[in-house]
Amino acid sequence: MKFRNQFLKYKLNMNSDGNGGGGGATVTVEDLQKQLSAVNDSLAKIEAKKTELLNENKTLKESMKTWEGLDPNQVRSLIEKVNGDEELKLITEGKYEDVIKKRTEKVEAGFKAQLNTAQGELEKYKNEYEKANSTIKKLLVDTAVTTEFVKLKGVESAVPDVVFRAQQVWHIENGEPVPRDREGQIMQGKNGVMTMPEWIESLRQTAPHLFPESTNAGATGNNGQNASGIDAKISAARKAGNLNEVRRLKEIKNKGQNK
As a whole number, mean pLDDT of residues 46-74 equals 74
Domain of residue 188 covers: 124-217+225-247
SS (H, E, C) 25-68: CCCCHHHHHHHHHHHHHHHHHHHHHHHHHHHHHHHHHHHHHCCC
Q: Do 197 and 152 meet the contact criterion of CB atoms below 8 Å apart? A: yes
pLDDT at residue 185 greater than cutoff 90: yes
User: Helix crossing, 96-151 with 159-169: angle to 10°?
Assistant: 130
* pLDDT, tens only, 200-219: 998 888 888 888 864 333 33
Q: Where are the alpha helices (DSSP H) in the chain?
A: 2-14, 29-65, 72-84, 86-92, 96-151, 159-169, 196-206, 230-239, 243-258
Q: Do 155 and 242 meet the contact criterion of CB atoms below 8 Å apart? A: no
Q: If pLDDT is split at 50, 70 and 90, which confidence band does 18 have?
A: very low
> Would you say residue 170 lies in a domain?
yes
* Number of independent structural domains in the chain: 1
> Would you say residue 135 lies in a domain?
yes
> Would you say residue 133 lies in a domain?
yes
> Would you say residue 129 lies in a domain?
yes
Q: Coil, strand, or helix at residue 186?
A: strand
Q: Does pTM top 0.85 for this prediction?
A: no
The span from the first CA to the last CA of the chain, in angstroms, equals 170
> Would you say residue 155 lies in a domain?
yes
189: which strand partners? 192
> Would you say residue 143 lies in a domain?
yes
> Would you say residue 152 lies in a domain?
yes
* pLDDT, tens only, 90-147: 777 777 787 787 778 878 888 788 888 888 888 888 888 878 877 887 888 888 899 9
pLDDT higher at 215 or 183: 183
pLDDT at residue 170 greater than cutoff 90: yes
> Would you say residue 118 lies in a domain?
no
